Chain A
Amino acid sequence: MPRPFHRDITFSIDGREVTAPENTILVDAAKYGDVEIPVFCYEPKLGQPVGACRMCLVEIEGIPKLQTACSTPVKDGMVVHTLTDRVKEAQNAVVEFLLINHPLDCPVCDKGGECPLQDISFGWGAGVSRFIEPKRHFEKPLSLSPLVAIDRERCILCYRCVRFSQEVAEDYQLVFEERGAHTYVSTFNGHPYVAPFSGNIIELCPVGALTSKPYRFRARPWDIEQAGSVCTLCPSQCNVSFTVRDDRVLRVLARDHKEVDDGWLCDKGRFAYQAIHADERITRPMIRDGGELREVSWDRALDEAAAALGRARGKVAAVVGGQTSNEEGHLLSHLVRDVLGSSDVESRVAGAPSAELRVALDHPDLQATVPDIEFAHAVLVIDAEPVDDMPIIDLRIRKGVRRNHVKLGVATSRPSSLDPNASAVARFAPGAGEAFLAALNAALGGGGVLSELAEAAGTTEQAVRDVAALFDATDLVILYGERLLSGPRADQTARALLNVAGKSFERGRDGAGLMEIPAGTNSRGLREVGCVSDRSPAEIAEAAAGGDLTALYLLHTDPLVDLAGEWEPALDRATTVIAHSMFLTPGIAEHATIVFPAESWAEREGTVTHPDGRLQRLRAGIGRPGDVRACWQTLAELSKRLGADISILTGSMATAQMAEHVPIYAGITHDELGGQGVRWQERDAASAYPGDVDFGPFGLEAPPVRPRPSGSELQFATFRSIWGGPEVAASPALQFLRSRPRVLLSPADAQRLELFDGLAATVAPDGREAVEATVHVRDAVPEGSAFLESDVAGVVGTAGIRKAEAAVVV
């Protein structure tokens, strides 16, 4: 779908000639002439204007009545007045009306000092009120949710929060109750407003009616500073602004970036900042001494680490967590490869496609961007749940479907929250992504017998055909989860995906393409800076358990928590386990021999790469607490102590060196990235991308036969919820959301296994340790499949599920 294009027109506002794109909403067009038109309800991010607050009334020549500037598209030759007596009278009137029921408790209101109602009353109001009647009263403040407090007396009923809930997040929870002057905002059923994106309403509220509970009464606008950076808690890499007071992050706000986050944040990104200042944080280096981790000086820790790594030369492996920056990834890779002579630096969570296939998949000609999702003719999500894996993309997809009539296809194993918005939904068996792609390839005329392949994928022929129908679209964007291309058959799956992509769009076409929803925040950047190894993490674990590797370097990851595979014996056997971490997670607490305190995402410098190739800059918003040092500094120091001084003294030097070693990033500097970042595909250095690429079509092997569960066994997969991760676990405000083991079952299976909602069940995956989980029966779960919420995503196979012994009904 072509992006809207508007030619420039000239109109007159308050006597000046102004040029603006045609059909720009007058409120925005006025800004081209430095004219501010006051607004409360207008917020373009929320979609169509509603014209409710009436604050933006202006006079337009030729139209007898005053018009709302928030709903009037500007036309050539339009003559607009915002300073006439009539307009001023109307503005005075609206301010007076809005304030008659407003408590004017600014001195004790969190919004005071950064409040649009204050600003507009001051700028456009009469300064006095003639209202002497009693004001409307409500009980206040009330809890709208555990995160948001609502003060209904302050509310000016601008509709923003309700529109957000109804039209952006589409959780349909917030509504107006009652009518007229008795109207108030509430949830539909009176229950707390709990939703993944609920915190955005706080930022949308133009008065102090919706306030953040963790931030309430913590600071005033005149004693805080804003520090822009990027949230690294998930691959969305939303642009954020940290509210800092006394070197502490007190709040996280969105820093609008149309091409990344559209100005929204998820509640994890907004509230998990509490983890930054959690008492549990590691703030000094530690060394295991007599079985216990003890705090030591940096010198000692670095010496010990250098010595241990030196001893293990050639037998070192590094596992890199998704939140690692490009610089850290590069420096670690340099340390392990160039200094220590090992080749195992792995950032991917499981077996991945070969380098040649990766080159094809990540090729700039096949790359879709985030805005493409909004303007495509069709979007297909394969094997990913955006709201859990890359939350802000979920909102972008909804926006495209709602506002631009993008056709959506969802092909996953687990039911998706996007199913109701989709015009085609296909469910395939857990782990049968390869078979599904092969079936899709067949349905698109790529060979193979559709009925057999659909059967192998555990889906129906019709479902595959429905999805294939999306491929009629000119611009199709395919979003695929990294787990689709993980595991032993990654190559075969990647070939099938490339075949399917080849059927869907011309290579190099703007507005169409592939985009990966990676498992880690910076998965793409880490791959591109070379944190890839021939061995998968599971194979590394095996080698370490077998004694072939003696030192393990864990950068921002705890394999026991984050990775599948047999890690316990590996960590046990390794003589040296060096970890950079913010928290003593189980694997690190038990097994690490040297622990370096890691910076939080508000303290780091460096760059990360968005799944669509945008390099974004991380900037430190606060100082590092305690003895925490920069990770790049630690890695550079280790290289130095091991005899390879790379002379990196600042964060920007680290970036420069990383850019020097990664041809496609060549020449990137912090200045160039600025506050908006830049997609490397759009830079000249992109010509360094390998040229000789095989895009297929490939001949496909028959997909493997799925394991058939029997008896009390079901097909099984794990998934990681948005509320997983140590940051959520360490944030007091998010405890009520914290990811817990839950097993999702279909009603039929639940009945057969004599399980019901809320019951504790034992889930025993094939060949793994059993887990106890709470049963959640969901209509949308396909019969025969079970899904377990866990920090380790992407484990597939079969699992026996039975009532836990001494099961208690919760």
Chain B
Amino acid sequence: MTDPILFKDIDEPGLRTLEVYRRRGGYDMVSKALAMTRDELVHDLEISGLRGRGGAGFSMGKKASFLPKTTMDKYLVCNADESEPGTFKDRELMTKLPHMLIEGIIIAAHAAGANRAFIYIRGEYQEVADILDAALVEARDAGYLDNLPLVVHRGAGAYICGEETGLLDSLEGKRGNPRLKPPFPANQGLYQGPTLINNVETLMTVPHIVRMGGESYAKIGAANSTGTKVVSVSGNVQRPGNYEIELGIASRELIYGLAGGPPEGREILFWFPGGSSSPVLTKDELDVPYDFDSMAKAGSMIGSGAIIIVDDSNSVVDVALKLASFYRHESCGKCTPCREGTNWTVKVLERIQSGLGTPMDLDIMASVQDRIIGNCLCVLGDSMAMPIGSMIEKFRPQFEEYMESRREVAA
């Protein structure tokens, strides 16, 4: 296990101030990065193997390389709309290390050739946004932002605004709805200009890659999943919280070793490896290494790196309803399968809960999930359909048992 990178000095008092951050080597990488050409920097990021930490896991360096080299206005947007249930890593990172984010943004903007930058932060993170604003003042006064206007924009409370194109619409002052892709933001993003959008954690890793060099960074972690990742562990565990791990460690070590496993006398029923939108895994799948490819092979994903543990004191149907209700509430309504499919799923689950389930319901629900997956404009619909589909597939007997018991109660 390698040493933490982002969390190295995380408990240092006053780390969020410029003074302490600088004492810990903060902003040292700015001059080094700005001395590199754009191509060198992008190359370094590419060979580092850094993949986006927001959920999609796309190569950060590659994304930066997609931005055209024209002279028009280009934008860098930091996606700090951390809304995926179970995810709270960006919150801690921004609260404690706001300057590391600013440093990352300055360097990434150089890599992308961007001349304006925004941090789009969810409106609920009032306190964090204030911290960022304070750090911005310090960074501006210190002259770090002389060539890069950086603005903290607070969202108004919609999960869909964490989707990159929905975020851009919202940032432009419109209703936050996802856009059709292509065109991708790298070509036509904010105000139709080329735009690089990255998650908080991704951008905060950038200065460290500059420090270590892409090649050495790539040595950390697993193949195709380089580096460290901050994982938010929550749910039925004894020590919930954020842990920075080296990608590729066994999930069991993470859940039982670091987070303490479920409470005494309880067993894991199932777990979400990458936020509420990842297909669930069972207790038999705890030995899957925690990295992008292994998780994909196991039929799930790392997503935003949020592990939610559900133990056997819970009913899978209750969790499914809670989850589906969340996605129905957050569906923007633009495309048909998501808008109607999330609504339908919730209605069926509610009916099952009220004891009026019918034998066809599970098949219909499973088919509805199949009909959502891959047919939507953005991934929000899939985000409900994948976990719900996996729950029905893996816990069908539990669903049937639940329906039966509810029917009896209702009768």
**Contact surface of A with B, Cβ cutoff 8 Å:** 48-55, 57, 65-66, 68, 71, 89-90, 93-94, 96-98, 100-101, 130-131, 133-134, 136, 156-157, 159, 175-176, 178-183
In the bound complex, residues from chain B placing their C-beta under 8 Å from that of A176 are 175, 333
Tell me which of B116-124, B126-134, B296-304, B342-350 binds A. Answer: B342-350
How far apart sit A646 and B82, CA to CA, in the bound complex (Å)? 83
Contact across chains for B335 and A53 when beta carbons are under 8 A apart: yes
Contact across chains for B336 and A54 when beta carbons are under 8 A apart: yes
In the bound complex, residues from chain A placing their C-beta under 8 Å from that of B158 are 179
CB-CB under 8 A for A68 and B180, given A93-B371, A181-B333: yes
- List the A residue with the shortest CB-CB distance to B334: A52
Of the candidates A89, A97, A130, which one forms a contact with B341 in the assembled complex, judged by CB atoms under 8 Å apart?
A97
How far apart sit A48 and B179, CA to CA, in the bound complex (Å)? 11
In the bound complex, residues from chain A placing their C-beta under 8 Å from that of B341 are 97
How far apart sit A518 and B180, CA to CA, in the bound complex (Å)? 42
Besides the known contacts A71-B180, A101-B340, A180-B329, 9 further A-B residue pairs in the complex with CB atoms under 8 A apart: A68-B180, A97-B337, A97-B339, A97-B371, A98-B336, A101-B343, A134-B347, A157-B334, A180-B328
CB-CB under 8 A for A54 and B340, given A133-B347, A133-B348, A159-B334: no
Nearest chain A CB to B166 CB, angstrom units: 11
How far apart sit A183 and B371, CA to CA, in the bound complex (Å)? 21
The reply to whether the CB of B263 lies closer than 8 angstroms to some CB of chain A is: no
The 8 closest A-B pairs by CB, nearest first: A183-B333, A93-B371, A181-B343, A97-B340, A180-B331, A133-B347, A51-B180, A180-B333
**Contact surface of B with A, Cβ cutoff 8 Å:** 158, 160, 175, 180, 328-337, 339-344, 347-348, 351, 360, 364, 367, 371, 374-377
Nearest chain B CB to A103 CB, angstrom units: 14
How far apart sit A133 and B348, CA to CA, in the bound complex (Å)? 7
How far apart sit A175 and B176, CA to CA, in the bound complex (Å)? 12
Contact across chains for A66 and B375 when beta carbons are under 8 A apart: yes
Most chain B beta-carbon neighbours within 10 Å: one of A71, A133, A175: A133
Nearest chain A CB to B184 CB, angstrom units: 13
- List the A residue with the shortest CB-CB distance to B380: A180
Most chain A beta-carbon neighbours within 10 Å: one of B330, B333, B341: B333
Contact across chains for B175 and A130 when beta carbons are under 8 A apart: no
- List the A residue with the shortest CB-CB distance to B160: A179
> What are 25 contact pairs spanning A and B, CB under 8 A?
A50-B334, A51-B180, A51-B335, A51-B377, A52-B334, A52-B335, A65-B374, A68-B180, A93-B337, A97-B340, A98-B340, A101-B340, A130-B360, A130-B364, A131-B344, A133-B351, A156-B336, A157-B334, A175-B175, A176-B175, A179-B158, A180-B329, A180-B333, A180-B339, A182-B333
In the bound complex, residues from chain A placing their C-beta under 8 Å from that of B342 are 180-181
How far apart sit A101 and B371, CA to CA, in the bound complex (Å)? 17
Nearest chain A CB to B321 CB, angstrom units: 14
Nearest chain B CB to A157 CB, angstrom units: 6
Contact across chains for A57 and B175 when beta carbons are under 8 A apart: no
How far apart sit A57 and B371, CA to CA, in the bound complex (Å)? 12
- List the B residue with the shortest CB-CB distance to A183: B333
In the bound complex, residues from chain A placing their C-beta under 8 Å from that of B180 are 48-51, 68, 71
- List the B residue with the shortest CB-CB distance to A40: B336
In the bound complex, residues from chain B placing their C-beta under 8 Å from that of A94 are 336-337, 375
In the bound complex, residues from chain A placing their C-beta under 8 Å from that of B330 are 179-180
In the bound complex, residues from chain A placing their C-beta under 8 Å from that of B175 are 175-176
How far apart sit A97 and B371, CA to CA, in the bound complex (Å)? 9
In the bound complex, residues from chain B placing their C-beta under 8 Å from that of A55 are 336
Most chain A beta-carbon neighbours within 10 Å: one of B335, B339, B340: B340
How far apart sit A248 and B40, CA to CA, in the bound complex (Å)? 75
- List the A residue with the shortest CB-CB distance to B180: A51
How far apart sit A157 and B341, CA to CA, in the bound complex (Å)? 14
How far apart sit A179 and B332, CA to CA, in the bound complex (Å)? 5
How far apart sit A134 and B330, CA to CA, in the bound complex (Å)? 21
Nearest chain A CB to B361 CB, angstrom units: 9
In the bound complex, residues from chain B placing their C-beta under 8 Å from that of A157 are 333-334, 336, 339
In the bound complex, residues from chain A placing their C-beta under 8 Å from that of B337 are 54, 93-94, 97
In the bound complex, residues from chain B placing their C-beta under 8 Å from that of A175 are 175
How far apart sit A134 and B158, CA to CA, in the bound complex (Å)? 27
- List the B residue with the shortest CB-CB distance to A97: B340
In the bound complex, residues from chain A placing their C-beta under 8 Å from that of B375 are 54, 57, 66, 90, 93-94
Of the candidates B331, B344, B371, which one forms a contact with A133 in the assembled complex, judged by CB atoms under 8 Å apart?
B344
How far apart sit A720 and B340, CA to CA, in the bound complex (Å)? 48
Nearest chain B CB to A575 CB, angstrom units: 67
In the bound complex, residues from chain B placing their C-beta under 8 Å from that of A65 are 374
CB-CB under 8 A for A89 and B328, given A97-B340, A131-B344, A133-B351: no
Nearest chain A CB to B354 CB, angstrom units: 12
Nearest chain A CB to B224 CB, angstrom units: 19
Contact across chains for A97 and B336 when beta carbons are under 8 A apart: yes
Most chain B beta-carbon neighbours within 10 Å: one of A52, A65, A180, A182: A180
In the bound complex, residues from chain B placing their C-beta under 8 Å from that of A182 are 333
- List the A residue with the shortest CB-CB distance to B360: A130
How far apart sit A179 and B160, CA to CA, in the bound complex (Å)? 10
Contact across chains for A179 and B351 when beta carbons are under 8 A apart: no
- List the B residue with the shortest CB-CB distance to A94: B336
Contact across chains for B377 and A52 when beta carbons are under 8 A apart: yes
How far apart sit A96 and B367, CA to CA, in the bound complex (Å)? 12
Nearest chain A CB to B336 CB, angstrom units: 5
In the bound complex, residues from chain A placing their C-beta under 8 Å from that of B376 are 54
In the bound complex, residues from chain A placing their C-beta under 8 Å from that of B351 are 133
- List the A residue with the shortest CB-CB distance to B182: A71
In the bound complex, residues from chain B placing their C-beta under 8 Å from that of A53 are 335-336
How far apart sit A49 and B329, CA to CA, in the bound complex (Å)? 26
How far apart sit A51 and B332, CA to CA, in the bound complex (Å)? 14
How far apart sit A195 and B340, CA to CA, in the bound complex (Å)? 32
Contact across chains for B336 and A183 when beta carbons are under 8 A apart: no
How far apart sit A101 and B335, CA to CA, in the bound complex (Å)? 14
Contact across chains for A180 and B332 when beta carbons are under 8 A apart: yes
- List the B residue with the shortest CB-CB distance to A166: B174
In the bound complex, residues from chain A placing their C-beta under 8 Å from that of B367 are 130
In the bound complex, residues from chain B placing their C-beta under 8 Å from that of A89 are 371
Of the candidates A54, A101, A134, A179, which one forms a contact with B331 in the assembled complex, judged by CB atoms under 8 Å apart?
A179
How far apart sit A719 and B371, CA to CA, in the bound complex (Å)? 57
How far apart sit A101 and B347, CA to CA, in the bound complex (Å)? 12
Contact across chains for A178 and B333 when beta carbons are under 8 A apart: yes
Nearest chain A CB to B366 CB, angstrom units: 12
In the bound complex, residues from chain A placing their C-beta under 8 Å from that of B328 are 180-181
Nearest chain B CB to A285 CB, angstrom units: 59
Nearest chain A CB to B407 CB, angstrom units: 16
How far apart sit A175 and B173, CA to CA, in the bound complex (Å)? 13
In the bound complex, residues from chain B placing their C-beta under 8 Å from that of A48 are 180
CB-CB under 8 A for A180 and B336, given A66-B374, A94-B375, A133-B351: no
- List the B residue with the shortest CB-CB distance to A134: B347
Nearest chain B CB to A123 CB, angstrom units: 17
- List the B residue with the shortest CB-CB distance to A48: B180
- List the B residue with the shortest CB-CB distance to A53: B336
In the bound complex, residues from chain A placing their C-beta under 8 Å from that of B377 are 51-52, 54
How far apart sit A381 and B342, CA to CA, in the bound complex (Å)? 50
